[in-house]
Chain A
Amino acid sequence: MNPNIYLPYISEITDIKQETPDTRTYDVRIKKKDQAKLFVSRPGQFVEASVFGAGEAPFGLTTSPKEPGVMTFTVRACGRVTNALAELKTGDEIGIKGPLGNSFLDKIDSKGRDVLVIGGGIGLPPLRSMIDHIFNHRSDHRDFTILYGARTPADRVYKYQLSEWEKKTDLKLVQTVDVADKEWTGNVGVVTTLFPKLKLDIPNTVVYTCGPPIMIKFVIIELLKLGLPEKQIVSTLERYMKCGVGKCGHCCIGNKYVCTEGPVFDYTEIKGLAEEAF
């Protein structure tokens, strides 16, 4: 990453996909070759994206990179920066700082184990990079399950991807929504209601989760009840962030800087903090 931690790389939006009425996926490329070379991300890392005049905001990277300087992230429009991003079109320029933070790969090794991914709403995109990683190393892993919960069927991101995953034989995808619509034939209820339906090999499962704080909180409570070892519960923490590089103090929880020491933590690292993590 750039030695001047505050200076973004000028980058170009190369493609935009509309996911839901308020959510879009952006493909982005860093313009200068020498800067692009420095950008190599690992699953779980994030970037700070700038729309100059509106500011910058953090977004989880959704792909394991195919080449340096290229990235994808998915954004729900909900505030100043995210609404400004929603106005942009292919070819427009933005600023990118990153890759920032640590990786799922810095935590317990999932090789040789069952993998359970639990995503809520806009929490699926940051998990996507890890899902890719597992697919790329599929034979190193045993059973692979993804649970995805959203408020309504329309709020689900990556619908095209979800229907593809549904067809896969080496992956079990279970979806649920809080509120169904007429066409929905799947599960209704929060993600934790899916747990009893799973046949989990508890001692040999690694869980990766990301979603709204309230979801993560109950997911962890339920997993602990099932007896899952704490180190095998791996979660990203999302805090209100400003600088993304360990200086502004906004993301601090207890004595941890989520932007540099996280966003990925296992449960042993967040349980004893002086403050509630969720």
Chain B
Amino acid sequence: MSQNKNYSLAKSKVPELLTRLIKKGDEVWGPMAGENGDNFFGQLSSEKELAGDYINGYLGAKRFVFPQIEEMFNYKKSKSGLELSQPVEMPRAVIWGIRSCDMSAVNYFDSFFGKGTKSGPDWKSGDPLPDPLYEARRNRAVFITIGCNVAGPKCFCVCTDSGPFLAQGFDIQLTDLGDRYFVEVGSPKGEEFINEFKEYFTPAQEGDQHARRTLENESEKTFQQPISFFAKAMRRMDQGHLKPEFWQKVADYCIGCGGCIYVCPMCSCFDVDDKALGENEGMRYRSWDTCDFAGFTREVSGHNPRATRADRRKRWFYHKVSMDYLEKNPVIGCVGCGRCVIACPGGIDMPTVIRWMRKTDSENPKP
């Protein structure tokens, strides 16, 4: 970004800005304080609900782009036949204070949910098409990210190139400089937003850009778990060093709760079901699902291609870090947010298993 695209935003003005947005009818999402000192990403009904300085909670901004339960359409049966509802227009959403890792996960979603040629003459059978539900949410959102001056205790985004600050992929990026934010613009949408609220954004102060760089360097020194070096682990997987014994060892620690997938900002598998809302109407909806559950792949005959917990653990790591998937989409399926480290009761989170992978070869199949 060129120099003149940088601004300054006084922290004291933020409550007023957010209040204006909410009054105007925009959906404003941000980190909210939970009851037990935790926090989660949610829709604010008042700027007062905003959490102060926070470490990413379990539920991140994935809840906005890919809600846990989302209506796909409504159906209605009447004398004249079946009718399906069309999607309704929703207001702009301002996603305030999303962390770099979660923003990176949204960018990954773009390459998956948003993928495909548009329908039309160039559409070939078999080509994936973009996901209309995701696109609608993505298109109406302005993402205002915030860089992390200090890493959380379980974070490892330095290993996945998804933080603590971003070079691109945001609409607006904020850096906390004490009494003000240093503001970088990353997209036309971000520029538009700033133009709309000019009175809050003043030209960046002398030296702020430099301060932002220094903060990034300092932040990188605060990581407590920079242990997730993926490259060697990926080679081990790719070259066939990880034998069934390896996955069995991982599975021995897994209780099959699916927690890792629930908290993962990059997991996007879902179930589809219908729910009756009366005798003649109802909705089709999707809800988060996980490859960790046996029912995810069990066929009607009872045949299950991933029948054991070891099969399913392998699947999760394979999808995230195998070269095979990288061929299709050149981003690994982990943004280093550290949530699985906190969530997994068995201690077989991403950085741990990556470390096991690195230390495993055909001669020593068990980590």
Question: Is A53's CB under 8 angstroms from B282's CB?
Answer: yes
Residue B77 interfacial (CB < 8 Å):
yes
Distance (Å) between the CB of A40 and the closest chain B CB? Answer: 9
Residues of B within 8 A of A8 (CB): 84
In the complex with contacts A6-B73, A53-B282, A255-B324, A239-B305 CB distance below 8 A:
yes
Question: Is B272's CB under 8 angstroms from A55's CB?
Answer: yes
In the complex with contacts A1-B119, A248-B286, A274-B322, A10-B299 CB distance below 8 A:
no
Residues of B within 8 A of A243 (CB): 270, 272, 286
Distance in angstroms between the alpha carbons of A99 and B125 in the assembled complex: 7
Question: Considering the complex, which residues of chain A in the window 139-194 have a beta carbon less than 8 Å from any beta carbon of chain B?
Answer: none
Question: Is B268's CB under 8 angstroms from A249's CB?
Answer: yes
Q: Mark B268-279, 1 if CB is under 8 A from A, else 0.
A: 111111101000
Q: How many cross-chain pairs have Cβ atoms below 8 Å apart between A and B?
A: 144
Residues of B within 8 A of A253 (CB): 305
Distance in angstroms between the alpha carbons of A249 and B268 in the assembled complex: 8
Distance (Å) between the CB of A221 and the closest chain B CB? Answer: 17
Partner pick for B270 among A31, A246, A249, A260, CB 8 A cutoff = A249
Q: Which residue of B lies closest to A212 (CB)?
A: B301
Q: Is the interface on chain A under 10, 10 to 19, 20 to 34, or 35 or more residues?
A: 35 or more
In the complex with contacts A102-B125, A245-B129, A3-B269 CB distance below 8 A:
no
Residues of A within 8 A of B318 (CB): 254, 274
* Interface secondary structure of A, over-half rule: loop
Partner pick for B128 among A55, A246, A277, CB 8 A cutoff = A246
Partner pick for A3 among B82, B119, B286, CB 8 A cutoff = B119
Question: Is A260's CB under 8 angstroms from B128's CB?
Answer: yes
Question: Considering the complex, which residues of chain B in the window 58-81 have a beta carbon less than 8 Å from any beta carbon of chain A?
Answer: 72-73, 75, 77, 81
Q: Which residue of A lies closest to B329 (CB)?
A: A255
Distance in angstroms between the alpha carbons of A212 and B301 in the assembled complex: 9
Residue B229 interfacial (CB < 8 Å):
no
Question: Is A249's CB under 8 angstroms from B269's CB?
Answer: yes
Distance (Å) between the CB of B269 and the closest chain A CB? Answer: 3
Q: Mark A239-253, 1 if CB is under 8 A from B, else 0.
A: 110110111111011
Residues of B within 8 A of A69 (CB): none
Residue B48 interfacial (CB < 8 Å):
no
Question: Is A260's CB under 8 angstroms from B127's CB?
Answer: yes
Residue A101 interfacial (CB < 8 Å):
yes
Question: Is A261's CB under 8 angstroms from B126's CB?
Answer: yes
Distance in angstroms between the alpha carbons of A252 and B119 in the assembled complex: 23
Q: Mark A45-60, 1 if CB is under 8 A from B, else 0.
A: 1000010111110000
Distance in angstroms between the alpha carbons of A77 and B360 in the assembled complex: 47
Residues of B within 8 A of A255 (CB): 322, 324-325, 327-328
Partner pick for A260 among B84, B126, B269, B284, CB 8 A cutoff = B126
Residue A5 interfacial (CB < 8 Å):
yes
Q: Mark B291-309, 1 if CB is under 8 A from A, else 0.
A: 1000011111101011000
Residues of B within 8 A of A257 (CB): 128
In the complex with contacts A6-B73, A240-B296, A247-B113, A93-B81 CB distance below 8 A:
yes
Most buried by B among A2, A78, A245, A252: A252
Q: Mark B305-319, 1 if CB is under 8 A from A, else 0.
A: 110000100110011
Distance (Å) between the CB of A63 and the closest chain B CB? Answer: 16
Question: Is B125's CB under 8 angstroms from A42's CB?
Answer: yes
Distance in angstroms between the alpha carbons of A212 and B302 in the assembled complex: 11
Residue B289 interfacial (CB < 8 Å):
yes
Question: Is B297's CB under 8 angstroms from A239's CB?
Answer: yes
Residue A276 interfacial (CB < 8 Å):
yes
Number of interface residues, chain B, beta carbon within 8 A:
57
Residue A198 interfacial (CB < 8 Å):
no
Residues of B within 8 A of A55 (CB): 272-274, 284
Distance in angstroms between the alpha carbons of A228 and B310 in the assembled complex: 34
Distance in angstroms between the alpha carbons of A52 and B82 in the assembled complex: 9
Residue B20 interfacial (CB < 8 Å):
no
Residue B23 interfacial (CB < 8 Å):
no
Residues of B within 8 A of A31 (CB): 81
Most buried by B among A2, A4, A260: A4
Distance (Å) between the CB of A35 and the closest chain B CB? Answer: 11
In the complex with contacts A3-B118, A5-B132, A238-B299, A248-B82 CB distance below 8 A:
no
Question: Is A4's CB under 8 angstroms from B324's CB?
Answer: no
Question: Is B305's CB under 8 angstroms from A276's CB?
Answer: yes
Residues of A within 8 A of B325 (CB): 255
Residue B131 interfacial (CB < 8 Å):
yes
Residue B54 interfacial (CB < 8 Å):
no
Residue B197 interfacial (CB < 8 Å):
no
Question: Is A52's CB under 8 angstroms from B297's CB?
Answer: no
Distance in angstroms between the alpha carbons of A161 and B272 in the assembled complex: 36
Residue A213 interfacial (CB < 8 Å):
yes
Residue A103 interfacial (CB < 8 Å):
yes
Residue B159 interfacial (CB < 8 Å):
no
Distance in angstroms between the alpha carbons of A74 and B282 in the assembled complex: 27
Residue A79 interfacial (CB < 8 Å):
yes
Question: Is A56's CB under 8 angstroms from B272's CB?
Answer: yes
Distance in angstroms between the alpha carbons of A278 and B306 in the assembled complex: 10
Question: Is A245's CB under 8 angstroms from B303's CB?
Answer: no
Question: Is A101's CB under 8 angstroms from B73's CB?
Answer: no
List 10 A-B residue pairs with CB atoms under 8 Å apart, sorted by A's residue number: A1-B125, A2-B119, A5-B131, A95-B84, A212-B303, A240-B297, A240-B298, A247-B268, A248-B269, A248-B289
Given contacts A99-B125, A250-B269, 10 further A-B contacts (CB under 8 A): A10-B82, A52-B274, A213-B301, A238-B299, A239-B297, A245-B128, A245-B129, A246-B129, A247-B268, A249-B270
